[in-house]
Amino acid sequence: MAAISREEVAHLARLSRLAVTEEELDTFAGQLDVILQAVAQVGEVAAADIPPTSHSVPLTNVLREDVVTPCLTPEEALSGAPDAEEQRFRVPRILDEDVAS
Amino acid sequence: MTTTLPAYDEVVARYEPVIGLETHVELGTNTKMWCGCPTDFGGEPNTRVCPVCLGLPGSLPVANKAAIEATVRIGLALNCSIAQWCRFARKNYFYPDMPKNFQISQYDEPLCFDGYLDVEVNGELVRIGIERVHLEEDTGKTLHVGGATGRIHGATESLVDYNRAGIPLVEIVTKPIPGTGALAPEVARAYVTELRDVIRSLGVSDVRMEEGSLRCDVNTSLNLPGEEWGTRTETKNVNSLRSVERAVRSEMLRQAAVLGAGGRITQETRHFHEDTGDTTPGRSKETATDYRYFPEPDLVPLAPDPAWVAELKAALPELPRLHRRRLQEAWGLSDADMQSVLNAGAVELIEATVAAGATPAAARKWWLGELSRRANETGVELADIGATPAQVAELQGLVDAGKLNDKLARTVLEGVVTGEGSPTEIMTARGLEVVSDTGALTAAVDEAIAANPAIADKVRSGKVAAAGALVGAVMKTTRGQADAQTVRTLILERLGAQG
């Protein structure tokens, strides 16, 4: 059985706002399936006492002092924006999506 | 659709409410969570931004030590366990308020977990379980334009300011709170109030609901006694303590109406409306976004040193609840009087006024009297009224020294509130000092007696109460700038009557 369905790939594409054609869905579903199966093989080797690795470098508590550093100017900040208005980034409205909080 | 709402008494007689609260607190650190941009409020748009908080390619976040410390202290004050090891997580979603297209938050490994906060409701202690306290970043502010109304519906574009994006935000989530019955709305309010006071006492945030540095979402469900908990709704946009109470109550009434008509509750987000006091549906949770959380690869895990955590714990300030009890005893107030002080939001103001030299009674008189009245009339918080505790203490000092009487003091206070200066400056500038020059007063008294011979005769014949009219006349000619008691004594002396 495939590790990822065509529907799941379509769902992920929608969440990522990627326009994917029907043919591409087949292609990506196949490719992602190969990747997931490869990862699953690693999972088989890993014993229960080996925690999943999220960070390959054994470091913790990399923190910085609460000291202000210089900001960009608004002109610099907006220089890469496709559009700006009133010193703000101007983007198409996004509806029907949750706002993080 | 309009439905007739049932009476609140009937609702709580029939159903048991379960509530839960999610509170977001913006920390008062100097800099943002992952970069050194300043966090000060109200700058021009996009002037507090850098490659990190704009999510530019190649930029890397580094966690703010002060924010971690503040969060651990909040967790400790809420009796939480502190994680020995935890990670940040990416919460992915598509909305322009985060330029990265994700928010760095915490998922299944919060920094603090499993605590409680005791709150007082009608003199009883209620223990509110704390599920978790975690750290994340605030979002930018979007302005919707292109439509006629300025709201997102009908808008064609959004304008985004990222000054707020990346400010450290602490999320505090309660466990479900069952068993509060009819008191559910009051418990919700008492919890948020106490939480605000605890956080303020830690000095880690200014926790102002009106400025959005404390924001609250309220979960509410109803069930029949003995049955499983009902489907809950989450009410957002609850922006004042009063609204917390109103939101729970209005949602209980609405849900009871739906259930009573044989309907079922939809799990959804609802928006509270300050003007009407009711809620309207927002996005339905049944089509909730899939956030695809995963551990943040750009930040290494946190592993708070237990010795450091123990140090922070030992240095926690006294809990506001215990502090208040101590003040109540020191000020000699009854429970009801203390409650009035609490309701007025005047505890710290009175405390500071007493510290500045006023007696507790005098401090309470000004803050609960003239200043509360003015705050109510103008719709501002007492703390923002424009008079400081030091000024109130100074004003009372002038009264105690006999330089101001009550009426003049109120006029001076009016000037303080409108920013004319200190009480002494205003008194001097406007010539409001009590007329203590006995010569001038005696002249005014003689004038009043001469102008009112009939009344003067009455007083001479022993009807001392009639002197009030003469006192009034003197106060009028001195434009209220005389001490009424001194005037009265002078009149009685002149007329040979005994006070």
Which DSSP category does B35 fall into? Answer: S
Residue B98 has φ and ψ, to the nearest 5°, of -120, 115
Residues 10-69 of A with CB under 8 A from B: 11, 15, 17, 54-55, 57, 59-69
Q: What is the pLDDT of residue B436?
A: 67
* Dihedral pair phi/psi, residue B168, rounded to 5°: -60, 130
State whether B300 and A61 contact (CB < 8 Å).
Answer: yes
For residue B85, which residues of chain A lie inside 8 Å, CB to CB? Answer: 60
Q: Does A87 touch chain B (CB under 8 A)?
A: yes
3-class state of residue B493 by DSSP: helix
Select the residue from A7, A57, A63 to test the B interface by mutation, using most B Cβ atoms within 10 A: A63
* B243 and B215 Cβ atoms separated by less than 8 Å: no
The reply to whether A26 falls in a domain is yes
How much is the average pLDDT of B357-364? 94
CATH code: domain of residue A32: 1.10.20.60
Residue A92's beta-bridge partner residues? Answer: B157
pLDDT at position A101: 42
Q: Residue B152: its chain A contacts at CB < 8 A?
A: 93, 95
pLDDT digits (tens, 9 = 90+) for B244-261: 999 999 999 999 999 999
Provide the chain B residues 253-292 that lie in CB contact (below 8 A) with chain A: 283, 288-290, 292
* Residues in B touching A79 (Cβ below 8 Å): none
Strand partners, B63: A63
| Rounded alpha-carbon distances, angstroms, from residue B121 to B21, B183, B323, B365 | 16, 8, 17, 25
Question: What is the CATH topology of the domain spanning B438-494?
Answer: Arc Repressor Mutant, subunit A (1.10.10)
The verdict on a CB contact (< 8 Å) between A62 and B36 is no
Positive or negative, the CA dihedral A25, A29, A30, A34 is positive
Residue B151 clears pLDDT 60, i.e. is over it: no
| Within a domain: A39 | yes
- Interchain contact, B96 vs A90, CB within 8 Å: no
pLDDT tens, per residue, chain A with 101 residues: 678 999 999 998 988 889 999 999 999 999 999 999 998 888 888 777 887 888 888 899 999 999 999 999 999 999 999 999 999 999 988 765 444 44
For CA atoms B361, B366, B368, B369, the dihedral sign is: positive
CB nearest A100 (choices: B50, B103, B295)? B103
B56–A55 CB contact, under 8 Å: no
Residue A25 is part of which domain span? Answer: 6-45
The pLDDT-based confidence of B154 (bands split at 50, 70, 90) is low
Alpha-carbon gap: B91 to the closest alpha carbon of chain A (Å):
8
Domain regions of chain B by residue span? 8-309, 320-429, 438-494
Q: Establish if A101 belongs to a structural domain.
A: no
Q: What is the sign, positive or negative, of the torsion defined by CA atoms of B283, B287, B293, B298? A: negative
Among B49, B160, B283, select the one facing A91 at the smallest CB separation: B160
Q: Does A74 touch chain B (CB under 8 A)?
A: yes
Report pLDDT for A99.
45
Asked whether the beta carbons of residue A67 and residue B31 sit closer than 8 angstroms, the reply is yes
Using an 8 Å CB-CB cutoff, list chain B residues near A68: 30-31, 36-38
- Is there a contact between A11 and B301 if contact means CB atoms under 8 Å apart? no
The answer to whether residue B59 neighbours chain A at the CB level (below 8 Å) is no
pTM of the model: 0.80
State the Cα–Cα distance between residues B455 and B442, nearest whole angstrom: 17
CB contact under 8 A, B299 and A54: no
Q: Under an 8 A CB cutoff, do A11 and B290 touch?
A: yes
Cα nearest neighbour of A90 on chain B? B159
CA distance B22 to B219: 8
Q: Are B25 and B169 in contact (CB under 8 A)?
A: yes
Enumerate residues 6+ apart whose C-beta is below 8 A from B487: B441, B444, B445, B471, B474, B475
- Chosen for mutation from B25, B26, B46 (greatest number of chain A CBs closer than 10 Å) is B46
**Of the candidates B60, B105, B102, B73, the residue with the CA atom closest to the CA atom of residue B86:** B105
pLDDT digits (tens, 9 = 90+) for B427-469: 888 888 877 667 778 888 888 888 888 888 888 888 888 888 8
Tell me, what's the ipTM? 0.88
Q: Which band of pLDDT confidence, cut at 50, 70 and 90, is reported for residue B301?
A: very high
- Give the mean model confidence (pLDDT) for residues B412-419: 91
* Counted domains in chain A: 1
**Range with lowest mean pLDDT among B160-169, B342-351, B359-368:** B342-351
Q: Do A74 and B97 touch (CB under 8 A)?
A: no
